Chain A
């Protein structure tokens, strides 16, 4: 055991894990089960929601490495070879800038476009090479291929010709290396081209529709390995970061059905230009299509997943007691006490009780049925409102949020069961537990506050264009919404069912839809009522969303789904136009860039 104490934000990113690390820390969730199916799938989720983990775990290498009973079950039931295809924002940005720079030079666009195609082919051949390896010490031989050296050589020769690469010897490994070299040659050629350096001869590259290239390549492999029924699954992670012209064709390809391959595509929640549902033969009308939404897990499944995930973090740090036992719970006041307390100091609440003919003095006489329809319905509002009022009825500016925002379950809920955030916050608790035995409630609250502040700082860096100076960044937008919801709970009038979620007009949403999309992608807004969430990928008028619960204590609001209000009412101004700023679009820089 090393003595490294991870920081609160210690980076957890499935992309940087080795396969062994990934498998050892993997927790099966409902989403994984759904994603595994033998259908084309689109999966959406904001940053840190676990898309990459789920996609990588379906790769043939991960399935073959994964230990345990559950792993055996999935090995038996997953009939395809997963090919994990990562993307990257920096790469995409460079690619798009180079493409801009090439402008009308269509002579070279096929060379540039081949970079991504070669990337896909390299990953494909890497998976094939793994399956067919005679030397790797594979644990379970998942979908192992026995192929003779001659057949391997014939296939490599055929693929090399088709893909225009030159492996030094006719093995899968050599073909993989040749693909890597080809990417380097293409990349260097493009660099020389845009920098007007001495150009080598234009490289011969594979070109055409990516789905055709994948289909043809898979067919060649399946024929060669004498398994025409073999199924391959191409797992495109963060598809929005693939070159633009490839994104929609891949989504469209999920409408079709191929006997030899399927696609699983992971995306962030909102993309104006991505259409999953257009047309009568759209993906959703296809029985071979499924949709997985990682946003807004149900409390039951989210909590179950969080418990396992957090327990794993603790076990790695030699803390192997039940996870709940490490968290001091808050001391909850009784429902009756909260009602009496608030009634004593809040005239608006007293008026409400009067209007509903609720007599506090007879609180104990009410039956459970009475309480369900009147008292229990408002208990959460009463508790939060009560906590922020002084005895004299004036607002109480607490030094820290009330304890009821703490407790293990509320921490998980506040972090939206987001694995990246959960691992980050749990890492921060490890040294506290090692010192105290448990995490005191004040430490729990302090960590949530710190996470929230850090997250708000981050949102402050995402720019918004607007003439209305209230909105310079996404945090300003969240603040506007948060203040509205806060007023619903803590305003002069007692609202028994305060509004706490947003809907959007078809007509007016054009004025701000991409900014709402950015907030959804950042996880600051969470879409709810997700039955038809696939429609929301390109159209926010299909979305009902709420603030992330990470802001609940900051805006003194409830950790539950609440009534909807139209966003226009929150803005209080029909003329507000908000535009997302794409930092990658070139702008003139002036002398203010001087710091």
Chain B
């Protein structure tokens, strides 16, 4: 697998979308590059009647998308069935739209694609950034911490080496603080997302003030949400050097593009990549598309 530096235009054979309640769920649906593609939209089993979910579903159906809905196990089973019927034997181009996929889903599907697609296939991971929406005002308790997907459980490693937790920060209040406290890692590093949306960055810093105040400035770095290749190179080289003296674990909170990049690095370096969730404590919120599309390409 290779993370591609150059960005080429591809015509896709297979396009996978997420079906959710945010209007940006369909932001990438009408694209010339997927005109000829076989399309699948993966929906949910809950919150299927809130906000834009019904409209989004109708839009996918109207675009000849096969819609599969259900809980994680059932959609993975249905997806597997669709995927195996396609029986790709020669290199194909696949677009994976992670915009409204849960982290678990995006990582699980990405890992499956990497594992099962023929060599020289292309996987383009695309993400439609949302317009700025205020973060939740209160911190929500952490109810689930675990591997991003089954494939990303990581190498158990040597207990004599100290743990180094690398957090990608989001703008939810104190989420990183809670996870960091729970894991009580020996070394903690923070990756702060940067983009042209200044309000987002301000919220990230404000809502992680307690967490960041625990860290030396040398343990805080930033990454550009819009530059996935640079983020990939920086993060991977950091983790490679950390692996010699620590057991690194990556916890990509914040923009989901980092989760996708983290999944790739996790597979390559056999490190654990974890997700965090407050389960049903968070309320459904509409996040419209900003028009900013982020993409990275993998050659399998």
Contacts and interface: CB of A to CB of B under 8 A. Distances in A.
B138 interface: yes
B279 A457 contact: no
Contacts of B157: 91, 94, 183, 187
Contacts of A122: 160
B103 interface: yes
Contacts of B139: 457, 460-461
Interface in A449-470: 453-454, 457-458, 460-464
A97 interface: yes
Given A90-B183, A187-B157, A472 B46 contact: no
A98 B163 contact: no
Nearest to B147: A97
B298 interface: no
Most chain A Cβ neighbours within 10 Å, of B22, B151, B279: B279
A88 interface: yes
A472 B71 CA distance: 25
- Which bucket holds chain B's interface residue count? 35 or more
B102 A463 contact: no
A17 B105 CA distance: 39
A105 interface: no
Given A592-B47, A592-B279, A90 B174 contact: no
A592 B162 CA distance: 33
B169 to A, nearest CB: 12
A462 B102 contact: no
A461 B156 contact: no
Interface stretch (B30-38, B184-192, B233-241): B184-192
A591 B47 contact: yes
Interface string A567-595: 00000000000000101111111111111
Interface string B53-97: 000000000000000000110000000000000000000000000
Nearest to A126: B160
Given A101-B153, A187-B158, A462-B142, A593 B103 contact: yes
B51 to A, nearest CB: 10
Interface in A165-216: 180, 183-184, 187-188, 190-191, 194-195
B173 to A, nearest CB: 7
A11 interface: yes
A10 B216 contact: yes
A461 B214 CA distance: 17
A541 interface: no
Contacts of B178: 458, 460-462
B291 interface: no
A6 B270 CA distance: 35
Contacts of A91: 156-157, 159, 163, 247
B17 interface: no
B242 interface: no
Interface stretch (B5-13, B223-231, B280-288): B280-288
A594 B102 contact: yes
B104 A457 contact: no
B118 interface: no
A594 B129 CA distance: 12
Contact of B102 (A8, A86, A190, A591): A591
Given A587-B279, A588-B71, A94 B156 contact: yes
Contacts, number: 203
Interface string B267-292: 00010100111111111100100000
B177 A461 contact: yes
Contact of A88 (B20, B105, B143, B163): B163
B296 interface: no
B213 A7 contact: yes
B185 A119 contact: no
B16 interface: no
A180 B162 CA distance: 14
Contacts of A473: 141
Nearest to A585: B144
A94 B153 contact: yes
Contacts of B215: 7, 11
A16 interface: yes
Contact of A594 (B20, B71, B142): B20
B39 interface: no
A15 interface: yes
B142 A461 contact: yes
A132 B73 CA distance: 56
B210 interface: yes
B153 A8 contact: no
A592 B284 contact: yes
A123 interface: yes
A458 B177 contact: yes
Interface in A259-292: none
Interface in A76-103: 86-91, 93-95, 97-98, 101
A15 B103 contact: no
B168 interface: no
Most chain A Cβ neighbours within 10 Å, of B103, B140, B144, B181: B144
A200 to B, nearest CB: 14
Contacts of A94: 153-154, 156-157, 272
B18 to A, nearest CB: 8
B153 A461 contact: no
A251 interface: no
Given A97-B147, A462-B142, A590 B156 contact: no
A333 B71 CA distance: 65
Contacts of A9: 210, 213-214
Most chain A Cβ neighbours within 10 Å, of B72, B138, B160: B160
Contacts of A463: 141-143, 278, 281
Given A98-B156, A595-B170, A460 B138 contact: yes
B195 interface: no
Contacts of A95: 156
Contacts of B183: 89-90
Contacts of B143: 463, 581, 583, 587
Contacts of A585: 144
A49 B143 CA distance: 26
A406 to B, nearest CB: 21
Interface of A: 7-11, 13, 15-16, 47, 86-91, 93-95, 97-98, 101, 112, 115-116, 119, 122-123, 180, 183-184, 187-188, 190-191, 194-195, 453-454, 457-458, 460-464, 472-473, 581, 583-595
Given A191-B270, A587-B144, A595-B135, 6 more contacts: A90-B272, A190-B155, A457-B177, A461-B140, A590-B71, A593-B277
29 contacts: A10-B214, A10-B216, A11-B214, A15-B162, A86-B160, A88-B162, A90-B183, A91-B247, A93-B145, A183-B157, A191-B154, A191-B156, A457-B173, A457-B210, A458-B178, A458-B210, A460-B139, A461-B174, A461-B175, A463-B142, A463-B143, A583-B146, A588-B71, A590-B47, A592-B280, A592-B283, A592-B284, A594-B287, A595-B135
Rank and list the top 10 A-B pairs by shortest CB-CB distance, nearest first: A461-B178, A463-B141, A473-B141, A583-B145, A9-B214, A593-B102, A119-B159, A454-B210, A90-B163, A591-B44
